[in-house]
Homo-oligomer: A and B are copies of this chain.
Amino acid sequence: MSLRYALLALLTSRPMTGYDVSKQFSQSVAHVWHAPDSQIYPELNRMERDGLLESTVVPWGKKGTKKEYAVTEAGVKAFREWMDSPIEIRRQREPAYLKAAYLEWAEPGAARAELEQFRDYWTEHLAMLEATRATLVDRSHPTLARRLEHYDASQWDRIVRYKIFAYDGLIDQARAAVAWAERGLVLVDELEGSTVD
């Protein structure tokens, strides 16, 4: 059910078409809650059916049309209620740690490749998170800029600092993952010998 609230969160910054949602999503909310197109479109429809969004058909070119979704009052209320309700606890489900616990079964080369891949993924992800964080700090993040327009300037600092706080948490997790993978590579070298196959 978090997808619904992730979409509401995005749409509170401004009304958007489904296509805009699916594009903007990947550059902001997806950092905390990933979802593909094929989940976004049907969910937008369900949200409209449930009265959380309302859509207006906007002409596009000569024959084309597009649907612009705006959050309704009921949508804002639902979002607020979700924000005030206790969080669901996510259970650990990370294949990398599962594999790590049984690394004695892997070929030394495969173990190394695994950890390198994990480290590289998180290094890249970390760079993206840090870049995004920087656009929050200088307020150049496009969705954030649109969002702040609805608020009095006295509120800006508060809004921005919560978003930075969220990214700081993600950055901590990413850094911990990279450091762990690096310790893993040292461990594999120590336990399996340093010959590379």
Closest residue of chain B to A5 (Cβ to Cβ) is B98
- State the oligomeric state as a number of copies: 2
Task: Tell me the smallest distance from the CB of A182 to a CB of chain B, in Å.
Answer: 11
User: Given the complex of chains A and B, what is the CA–CA distance between A94 and B2 in angstroms?
Assistant: 9
Interface 0/1 of A73-116, CB less than 8 Å to B = 00000011001111111111111111111111111001001100
B residues in contact with A99, CB < 8 Å: 83, 87
Q: Are B83 and A162 in contact (CB under 8 A)?
A: no
User: Given the complex of chains A and B, what is the CA–CA distance between A162 and B97 in angstroms?
Assistant: 10
Interface 0/1 of A20-49, CB less than 8 Å to B = 000000000111111000000000000000
Known contacts being A83-B99, A87-B95, A172-B179, is A162 close to B33, with CB within 8 Å?
no
Task: Tell me the smallest distance from the CB of A87 to a CB of chain B, in Å.
Answer: 5
Q: Are A104 and B158 in contact (CB under 8 A)?
A: yes
User: Given the complex of chains A and B, what is the CA–CA distance between A29 and B102 in angstroms?
Assistant: 10
Say yes or no for A19: interface residue by CB 8 A criterion: no
Closest residue of chain B to A170 (Cβ to Cβ) is B97
B residues in contact with A166, CB < 8 Å: 97-98, 100-101
Q: Are B87 and A118 in contact (CB under 8 A)?
A: yes
Known contacts being A180-B168, A191-B161, is A87 close to B114, with CB within 8 Å?
yes
B residues in contact with A56, CB < 8 Å: none
11 intermolecular pairs with C-beta atoms under 8 Å apart: A2-B98, A12-B105, A29-B98, A32-B97, A80-B105, A80-B106, A100-B166, A101-B163, A101-B165, A102-B162, A104-B155
With A33-B95, A161-B187 already in contact, 17 other A-B pairs whose C-beta atoms are closer than 8 Å: A31-B92, A34-B91, A80-B106, A83-B99, A84-B106, A84-B110, A85-B110, A87-B96, A97-B170, A98-B166, A101-B165, A103-B162, A104-B159, A169-B176, A169-B184, A172-B176, A172-B179
